[in-house]
Amino acid sequence: MLKQVALIGMPNVGKTALFNKLTGSFQRVANFPGVTVEKKTGWISENGEKTIEVIDLPGLYSLDATTLDEKVTKDFLLQKDKTQHSIHFVLVLDATNLDKSLYLAFQLKKLGYPLLIALNLMDEAEKRGLKLDIKLLSQELNAVIVPTSASTGLGTQELILKIKDLLQNPDDLNLSLPQEIQKTFRSPHYINGIFKEVDELLSKVTIHPLKPDSLSEHIDQWVLHPVWGAVILIFILLLMFQTLFSWSAPLSDGIEFVFSFLGEQVSMHVSDKTFKSFLVDGVLSGVGGVLVFLPQIMILFLFIQFLEDIGYLGRAAFMMDALMRRLGLPGKAVIPLLSSHACAIPGIMATRVIDNYRERLITMMVIPLTTCSARLPVYALLIGALIPDRAVGGIEFFRLPGLVLFALYMFGFLSAMLMSLIFKKSLPQSSPSMLLMELPPYRIPKLKNLMLVMLNKGKIFLKKAGGIILIISIIIWFLVSFPQNNGESHIESSYAASIGRTFEPLFKPLGFDWRITTALIPSIGAREVVVSALSLVLSIEEGSEGFEENMSMALVNQFGAGTLLALLVWFVFAPQCISTFAVMRRETNSYLWPTVMVAYTLLLAYGMAFLARQFSSFLF
Amino acid sequence: MTINEAPLHQKVAVSSLHPAERELSDIESRLMHLGFIEGAKIEVKRKTTLLNGPLLVEVRGRVVALSQAEAQLVKVEICSC
């Protein structure tokens, strides 16, 4: 029989970090409540054999679940989850905040669930002076307690042994919670009673109390200051975009050199002209053209993860709440909106923490306007072509391209705010959602976690480059190289030209000719493809020799600055990739809203790109 | 008075959260589960006056962000705690 155990607990107590430690998985962790919004599974392995399935469930404050993510966990406890085989779980408590996390322990104890408790963040609690009589705590709760630290690995092995003991228990629990019992979870008398029991227990088992977290309070005086807080936020973002360009440059140059070298080797050793073109223009130029942006994407993820780990995102939600509410969004929407700068898919999933459906829907609808990492290669390529690399205000570190990149991200974010205002006015009113959110203490991010996130995201991007991007590049190469005439490719008479010309009239007002149109179509699958598609179209047209160095120049020469500006603006607003559409369909359980999303972003992209093209003469 | 009217950094105690004759709403239930129960000692740490923004309140050793609408649900009185 399948052995299965779930991790449950309040939000931000380190369940996912513990899950990763137990299973060797690499699920996303961050320092704010509500990171896990759906259940995730992994395995405890012994001698390479998977022995116990571990389920990581979203956090819940009490069994009286009020948000979608909390209901996932409640369904598990009520055995409504069709994929579950048992109801055994480890309750994860935050040792630095037992006042809070013991509430759930008492609720579960009262219902007769056997308790195996991981007393997590124990290292941090001890550093802050906490001393507990764990034996007494264990007796009072009638629970098995293992002090753990997901960051150091403290207690992990012992916890695995205790999980095995728990699963040896032959009693098959069959707990049902009738409606009458569930109603009591919301009774003030019941809630007051549990808190009283928590206080009594803590006074018994606490040998030395926890020192208050004064550091977080001091930092918040600056970070949450109405003026300095905004200055700090803008500074962090500016620094991030400058760093994207400056730190990544040597690495990007290195990747470009490698692909250029490989191209030269292939040119020297492969004699068949078509096969050589396939390797150099189709594979190396297509994939290499996108891979040069790998360092920028990894640095972007590093920054986002840093902000998440340090505990900044919850603060950003607090600072933005009042403004966001006027625009139809709750402050909590800042978290999915900022996460969407990495990728829109987890961003849309993260909206589950918003309890009001209307506000959740508005957030999902405007997420495509935030700039996901797939747009970064397109921005970087077009900025490189349009913007001179010069210092701003005499400060060498602050370069004009970085500033323009920052402006594009801001442009996307402000457009999202404006659209949410329009949705707010258009959709039927309902009562606003809760802000009610616990702010986590500041924590120094673990370098290892940051590096692992960065490498993992890099790996995902490499897989994408070796998968969909490579496939699309080969298809485009075929379309631009065939049919051949006497063994020669003539791009003007290629299949790509026929397809591009079919759609060309539609995009002509934007200045997009058939070459750009051909590059735009496959970007529905993955946006980065537009870079390889353009490089393919131009390299075959111009010849591959020395092409990489001259890509920017070739773009300006071939299309003109006005068209490139229109293309840049197009990508600020253009619809998200097909995967985003699919996730949106799943989360709204309808085709209507994803269709509206695609329609409005398409219209917006077209209109704004048209305006950009018309006004480009004032700029260039 | 309600929490949003409480002076900054003044310790106050929750006097009531909801009228006894009806069931708790989702927001009231969440407030109670976060520790805003009768008699709980709280302190307003920060108020955002701009655009009638949210508040930061310390309750049971944790810092909780509340919107103005949420804060208006919690009645408090000044205590010498």
Partners of residue A220 in chain B, C-beta under 8 Å: 45-46, 56
CA A596 – CA A602 distance, rounded (Å): 10
Clarify whether residues A204 and A237 are in a common domain: no
User: CB-based burial of residue A72 (10 Å sphere; 0-12 exposed, 13-18 middle, 19+ buried)?
Assistant: buried
Of A293, A245, A234, A564, which is closest to residue A405 (Cα–Cα)? Answer: A245
Clarify whether residues A440 and A515 are in a common domain: yes
Q: Comparing A48-57, A264-273, A547-556, which segment has the lowest mean pLDDT? A: A547-556
* pLDDT > 70: percent of chain A: 93
Q: Is residue A8 situated within a structural domain?
A: yes
For residue B67, give Cα distances in angstroms to A407, B48, B72: 30, 10, 9
Clarify whether residues A331 and A443 are in a common domain: yes
pLDDT at A198: 95
CA A415 – CA A403 distance, rounded (Å): 18
Q: What is the mean pLDDT of residues B58-75?
A: 90
Local confidence band at A83 (pLDDT 50, 70, 90 cut-offs)? low
**CB count, 10 Å around CB of A373?**
22
Quick check: A28 pLDDT over 80?
Answer: no
Partners of residue A355 in chain B, C-beta under 8 Å: 26
CA A58 – CA A9 distance, rounded (Å): 8
Clarify whether residues A197 and A234 are in a common domain: no
Local confidence band at B74 (pLDDT 50, 70, 90 cut-offs)? very high
**What would you measure as the largest C-alpha separation in chain A, in angstroms?**
91
What does DSSP assign to residue A149?
Answer: B
Q: Is residue A535 situated within a structural domain?
A: yes
Strand order in the sheet with B41-47: A437-439, B62-66, B55-59, B41-47, B11-16, B75-78
Partners of residue B18 in chain A, C-beta under 8 Å: 188
Q: Which of A61, A322, A439 sits opposite B63 (nearest CB)?
A: A439
Local confidence band at A494 (pLDDT 50, 70, 90 cut-offs)? confident
Quick check: A549 pLDDT over 60?
Answer: no
Of A466, A459, A497, which is closest to residue A284 (Cα–Cα)? Answer: A466
Local confidence band at B12 (pLDDT 50, 70, 90 cut-offs)? very high
pLDDT at A569: 94
pLDDT at A608: 95
Q: What is the pLDDT of residues A95-113, one digit of tens each?
A: 999 988 899 999 999 888 8
Q: Do B37 and A331 touch (CB under 8 A)?
A: no
Q: Point out the domain boundary residue: A208, A243, A263.
A: A208
Instruction: At B45, list the tokens.
Output: 């740490």
Partners of residue A430 in chain B, C-beta under 8 Å: none
pLDDT at A292: 80
Instruction: At B37, list the tokens.
Output: 């129960």
φ, ψ of residue A240 to 5 degrees: the values are: -60, -45
Local confidence band at A40 (pLDDT 50, 70, 90 cut-offs)? confident
**Chain B: nearest CA to A99, how far in angstroms?**
6
pLDDT at A79: 72
Quick check: A546 pLDDT over 60?
Answer: no
Partners of residue B71 in chain A, C-beta under 8 Å: none
**What would you measure as the largest C-alpha separation in chain B, in angstroms?**
35
How many residues belong to chain A?
A: 620
Local confidence band at A30 (pLDDT 50, 70, 90 cut-offs)? low
CA A444 – CA A266 distance, rounded (Å): 48
CA A41 – CA A54 distance, rounded (Å): 6
Q: What is the ipTM of this complex?
A: 0.91
pLDDT at A18: 93
User: Which of A13, A60, A184, A436 to probe the B interface (max B CBs under 10 A)?
Assistant: A436
Q: What is the pLDDT of residues A144-195, one digit of tens each?
A: 999 999 888 899 999 999 999 988 875 556 566 777 777 888 888 899 999 9
A residues 565-604 closer than 8 Å to B (CB): none
Local confidence band at A482 (pLDDT 50, 70, 90 cut-offs)? confident
Quick check: A591 pLDDT over 80?
Answer: yes
Q: What is the mean pLDDT of residues A456-478?
A: 83
User: Which of B8, B17, B67 to probe the A interface (max A CBs under 10 A)?
Assistant: B67
Q: Which residues contact B70 (CB under 8 A, 6 or more apart)?
A: A434, A435, A436, B27, B31
Could you tell me which residue, A102 or A490, shows the higher pLDDT? A102
- B28 dihedral zone (left: phi>0; alpha: psi -120 to 50; beta): alpha
Quick check: A3 pLDDT over 80?
Answer: yes
Of A535, A543, A542, which is closest to residue A285 (Cα–Cα)? Answer: A535
Q: What is the pLDDT of residues A337-363, one digit of tens each?
A: 887 887 888 888 888 878 788 999 999
Q: What is the pLDDT of residues A258-316, one digit of tens each?
A: 988 898 899 899 888 889 888 988 888 778 877 887 888 888 888 888 888 898 888 88
Q: A46 - beta bridge partners?
A: A49
Clarify whether residues A357 and A472 are in a common domain: yes
For residue A127, give Cα distances in angstroms to A95, A147, A152, A212: 11, 14, 13, 12
Could you tell me which residue, B45 or A241, shows the higher pLDDT? B45
User: Which of B32, B41, B59, B64 to probe the A interface (max A CBs under 10 A)?
Assistant: B32
CATH for A137: 3.40.50.300
Average pLDDT of chain B, as a whole number: 88
Instruction: At A61, list the tokens.
Output: 């404050």
Q: Is residue A313 situated within a structural domain?
A: yes
CA A27 – CA A16 distance, rounded (Å): 7
Clarify whether residues A128 and A277 are in a common domain: no
Clarify whether residues A329 and A456 are in a common domain: yes
Quick check: A541 pLDDT over 60?
Answer: no
CA A321 – CA A425 distance, rounded (Å): 18
Clarify whether residues A181 and A272 are in a common domain: no
- What are the DSSP E strand ranges found in A333-482? 391-392, 395-399, 437-439
CA A242 to chain centre: 21
- A487 dihedral zone (left: phi>0; alpha: psi -120 to 50; beta): left
User: Which of A103, A191, A313, A320 to probe the B interface (max B CBs under 10 A)?
Assistant: A191
pLDDT at A575: 79
Instruction: At A194, list the tokens.
Output: 């549990």
CA A393 to chain centre: 34
Q: Do A322 and B69 touch (CB under 8 A)?
A: no
CA B40 – CA B14 distance, rounded (Å): 5
Quick check: A593 pLDDT over 70?
Answer: yes
Asked whether the beta carbons of A480 and A491 are under 8 A apart, the reply is yes
Clarify whether residues A330 and A446 are in a common domain: yes
- What are the DSSP E strand ranges found in A180-243? 206-208
φ, ψ of residue A109 to 5 degrees: the values are: -60, -45
Q: Any chain B CB within 8 A of the CB of A103?
A: yes
pLDDT at A126: 94
Strand order in the sheet with A115-120: A40-46, A49-56, A4-9, A89-94, A115-120, A143-147
3-state secondary structure of A161: helix
CA A231 – CA A247 distance, rounded (Å): 23
pLDDT at A151: 85
**Chain B: nearest CA to A71, how far in angstroms?**
13
Q: Is residue A399 situated within a structural domain?
A: yes
* pLDDT > 90: percent of chain A: 29
pTM over 0.80: no
CA A2 – CA A179 distance, rounded (Å): 30
Instruction: At A26, list the tokens.
Output: 């690499």
Q: Is residue A509 situated within a structural domain?
A: yes
**Chain A: nearest CA to B53, how far in angstroms?**
5
Asked whether the beta carbons of A53 and A19 are under 8 A apart, the reply is no
- Domain that includes residue A288, residue range: 230-619
Q: Which of A187, A212, A438 sits opposite B64 (nearest CB)?
A: A438
Relative to beta strand B62-66, strand B75-78 is unpaired
How many residues belong to chain B?
A: 81
Interface of B with A (CB under 8 A): 17-18, 20, 23-24, 26-27, 29-35, 37-38, 40, 45-46, 48-54, 56, 60-67, 69-70
Could you tell me which residue, A156 or A468, shows the higher pLDDT? A156
Domains identified in chain A, total number: 2
Q: How far apart are the first and last CA of chain B?
A: 17
What does DSSP assign to residue A528?
Answer: T
The CATH code that applies to domain B3-78 is 2.30.30.90
Of A564, A576, A563, A562, which is closest to residue A604 (Cα–Cα)? Answer: A576
> How open is the CA angle A112-A11-A367, to the nearest 5 degrees?
135
Maximum average pLDDT range among A105-109, A229-233, A398-402: A105-109
Q: Do A195 and B66 touch (CB under 8 A)?
A: no
Quick check: A248 pLDDT over 90?
Answer: no
Q: Is residue A219 situated within a structural domain?
A: no
Q: Is residue A218 situated within a structural domain?
A: no
Task: Please report the number of interchain residue pairs, chain A to chain B, with beta-carbon separation below 8 angstroms.
Answer: 110
Could you tell me which residue, A235 or A133, shows the higher pLDDT? A133
Of A1, A29, A25, A5, which is closest to residue A15 (Cα–Cα)? Answer: A29
Clarify whether residues A256 and A197 are in a common domain: no
φ, ψ of residue A3 to 5 degrees: the values are: -95, 130
Q: Is residue A437 situated within a structural domain?
A: yes
Quick check: A131 pLDDT over 80?
Answer: yes
3-state secondary structure of A447: helix
pLDDT at B79: 85
Q: What is the mean pLDDT of residues A427-438?
A: 80
Domain ranges of chain B: 3-78
For residue A375, give Cα distances in angstroms to A340, A538, A602, B7: 12, 20, 16, 47
Maximum average pLDDT range among A77-81, A307-311, A526-530: A307-311
